[in-house]
Structure 1
Amino acid sequence: MKTLRLLITSAGRRAGLVQCFRADAAALGIELEVIACDLEPELSAACHLADRRFAVPPVTSADYVDAVLEICRTYEVGLVVPTIDPELLPLSLARGRFEQIGASVAVSSPELVEIARDKLETARFLARHDIPSPATAAAEDVRDNPDAWDWPLIVKARSGSASRGLRLVNEPSDLPDLTTSEPLVAQQRLTGTEYTVNVYFDGDGRLRTSVPHERIRVRAGEVEKGVTRRLPQLQDLAERIAAALPGPRGALCFQAIVDDNGDASVFEINARFGGGYPLAHRAGAAFGRWLMEERLQLPSSANDDWRNGVTMLRYDAAVFIDS
């Protein structure tokens, strides 16, 4: 039986992701040891579901990558899966260092990460490649030229995640104080049905599947109730985005709105596993299995044969620790 040690970084509440990897390993017939790390692993549900857990410095620390490397070196980790935006760039830049010790980091190129991390750069990327997207600008540019915009607008943090700082701005006077806030972008308000599209790229950067799900209910920026929908217009957009992205690898996702006419517009790209990925997994898109097959040099089973109409209804659960 083949064995693999997997490290999930910034594990936090990603208990569902741990469970997906365990299910994929069982289906693949390999022995999987899950290692997880976090700033406070004793307070991380996902860390307590792992076989080993470790504390690491903040992802913004200059010591973060070295700490993750040391875990990989000590425990002979074969696959590293990042989960939050701020760690993607340092881990991508250090991917060669991980490969030298036999650890493969499931992260896209630094160039792609920088596009996805910056919402203004995302908008510029989409516009350059004629991918439908809402008009977007730095909030200060909108403040200086308000008559060029159709109000209301959506304002959000330029590098935010989990809907941090998201607000509806009805008129120019409602714009926040830009001298005291973090950098913000303003974006044309879209109307329609919101979707996340989970996409998987193999080690050669080829798109292997795209799995849209309708975001029926959202809490703190993460889908709480959703259903997979095989929509051709969203899968076509996935193909177009895939053709334009520089160096995609592993799990990514993008968000889009489909209006009443059926036209789709992309407004965000995430270069990591999306928070709603367990729904795609349940529908048959086993990204974890495909990553492990690649790492262990097994034949790839990656496919686009996922099930339409699978519904996820999330609820709060707890991990109990008897001390």
Structure 2
Amino acid sequence: MGSKANILVTCGGKWVGTVLQLRQAMQEVPLLQNGRLYVADRAAITPAGHFADGSFVVPPIGHPDYIDSLLEVCRRAEVRVLLPLIDIDQVRLARHGKRFSEAGTTLVSPPAEPVELLFDKDCFHRFAVAADLPVPKRIALEELETADYPLFYKPIRGYGGIGAGRCNSLAEARRACSCRDDLMFQEFVGAPEVSIDCYISPAGVPTVRVPRIRDKVVDGEVMQSHTVRLPDVNALAIRTLEALAGRGVSGPVTVQVFAAEEPMLIEANPRLGSGNVLSNVATGGRLLRSVLAGACGLPVIGDPDDYRDGLYLYRYLGDVIHDGSAPFQVFPRMAA
């Protein structure tokens, strides 16, 4: 990839904190120290674009020209690392990793097959059961009449909590099924949800594992969170990462677990979680530094237990005011 040193974050329009921390991480990866960080989004004006070194407008993820447009951006902007942040973007991009590689750009994603395994909730449930990883009991549609309520339902190919919910009775379960035909049901688990921000090295070794309680979630994205040490949860996370590494997964992974008396696996996503900024700080910047170093083909080592617990994330709204297309004022103001 020669002297390429630039990064492109896709669908990154609102992730200001992640963009700022990625810029810091670039300075700690020798091959990226002189690089620029760009944001690609379907919107011409985005908050994160203001804090990046530049931005590009691309078609929506589902558009037929989306991949070709990104490839053109990567060639023109000499992008070395392409970093997707959301599930449906990664599912689309993973099928074209070879094309990006041929253009001199490393896509931060496992191959298409394990990405699909983790995105499809039915496939993931069967994978977890086969790997002897504890998961909530699944309730088949024909078992709804005799099931113990409440139950939890979610779309088999859903993301961000869209279309998921609790049903307290058979009538509510039938109502949910009448709205969409791609639901799966499982026992309702009334335990705190823990997101675990992780990294699996290119050698298949878990080197980062930071559990954090999801204190407040809005539309599937964490707004308040804090890091913790939960030995049983940590152990389940490592078992999950090792099983995923055996299926070809490496790079950033977000594992979600119910912190019940006996922890249970909810799901795993092969990307950075929405609260990655907290875990990155808890590891002294090691999470994002690992992501970038691994994408550059550099060795990545680390102790999963090397993180700081008791750190709290509180998200708030900031404002970027534009005069036409040019930024006019920013609140809060960036430090000089």
- Equivalent residue for 2:153? 155
Verify the 8 A CA contact 2:202 2:300 in the aligned structure 1: no
Shift of the alpha carbon at 1:251? 1.0
Q: What is the deviation of 1:162?
A: 2.0
Alignment of 1:72-87 (within 5 A): 72-87=74-89
Name the structure 2 match of 1:185.
Answer: 184
CA distance in 2, matches of 1:103, 1:17: 20
Give the Cα separation in 2 of the matches to 1:24 and 1:177: 44
Q: Percent of counterpart pairs with the same letter?
A: 28
The structural deviation recorded for 1:61 is 2.2
Deviation string 1:73-117 (CA, Å, 9 cap, x unpaired) is 111100010111112123212111111121111101212211221
> Which stretch of the first structure deviates more once superposed, 288-297 or 56-65?
288-297
1:226-284: CA deviation from partner (whole Å, max 9, x where unpaired): 1111222122112211222211121110111112x3x2111121121110111101101
Q: 1:160 to 1:295 in 2, by over 3 A?
A: closer
**Is the CA contact (8 Å cut-off) linking 2:199 and 2:291 kept in structure 1?**
no
Q: What amino acid sits opposite 1:201 in the alignment?
A: I
Offset of residue 191 of structure 1:
1.5
- Residue 298 of structure 1: how far off its partner (Å): 4.8
1:61–1:170 CA distance, 2 compared to 1 (3 A): same
Which residue identity does 2:118 align to in structure 1? Answer: A
* Greater alpha carbon shift after TM alignment, 200-209 vs 211-220: 200-209
Structure 2 gap segments, 5+ residues each:
325-336
Q: Which runs of 5+ in 1 are unaligned?
A: none
Q: Using the alignment, how far apart are the partners of 1:296 and 1:111 within structure 2?
A: 22
- CA offsets 1:195-226 (integer angstroms, 9 cap, x no match): 00111012233211211001122222222111
Partners in 2 of 1:190 and 1:229 — Cα distance? 20
Give 1:293's aligned residue.
Answer: 293
Does 1:40 pair with 2:35? no
How far, CA to CA, are the matches of 2:38 and 2:303 in structure 1? 27
Aligned to 2:310: 309
Pick one of 94, 109, 118 that aligns with 1:116.
118
Counterpart AA for 1:206: V
Alpha-carbon offset, residue 294 of structure 1 = 3.2
Give yes or no for contact 2:153–2:165 (8 Å, CA) kept in 1: yes
Matched, 1:269 2:271: no
Alignment check: 8 A CA contact 2:145 2:170 kept: no
> Contact 2:4 / 2:79 at 8 angstroms: preserved in 1?
no
Tell me which residue corresponds to 1:15.
Answer: 16
User: Cα 1:79–1:123, aligned 2, differ >3 Å: closer, same or farther?
Assistant: same
Query: Which amino acid letter does the alignment assign opposite residue 56 of structure 1?
Result: V
- Of the structure 1 ranges 303-312 and 27-36, higher mean CA displacement relative to structure 2 is found in 27-36
Task: State the distance in 2 between where 1:299 and 1:154 align.
Answer: 41
Equivalent residues of 2:252, 2:291 under 8 A apart: no
Distance in 1 of aligned mates of 2:130 and 2:145: 24
Question: Aligned partners of 1:221 and 1:237: how far apart in 2?
Answer: 22
Q: Secondary structure at the match of 2:280?
A: helix
Q: Name the CA distance, whole Å, in 1 between partners of 2:181 and 2:59.
A: 23
Secondary structure of 2:133's match?
coil
Match of 2:134 among 132, 140, 145: 132
TM-align CA RMSD: 2.0
Q: 1:217 to 1:180 in 2, by over 3 A?
A: closer
**Is the partner of 1:156 in helix, strand or coil?**
strand
Q: Which amino acid aligns with 1:39?
A: R
Higher mean C-alpha deviation, range 215-224 or range 99-108: 215-224
* Cross-structure match for 2:331: none
- Quote the offset at 1:177 in angstroms: 5.1
Whether the aligned pair in 2 keeps the contact of 1:6 and 1:80 (CA below 8 Å) is yes
Please list the CA deviations of residues 126-164 of structure 1 after superposition, one character each: whole Å capped at 9, or x if unmatched: 111111110225xxx42x322442211112222222221
Give the distance between the partners of 2:318 and 2:22, measured in 1 at CA. 19
State the SS of the aligned residue for 2:117: helix
CA distance in 2: counterparts of 1:14 and 1:28, whole angstroms: 21
| Pair 75,302 (structure 1): closer, same or farther in 2 beyond 3 Å | farther
SS of structure 2 residue aligned to 1:320 = strand
Separation in structure 2 between the aligned mates of residue 177 and residue 300 of structure 1, nearest angstrom: 45
1:43-82 equivalences under 5 Å are: 44-82=46-84
TM-score, normalisation: structure 1: 0.91
What is the TM-score of this pair, normalised by structure 2?
Answer: 0.87
Q: Is the partner of 1:88 in helix, strand or coil? A: helix
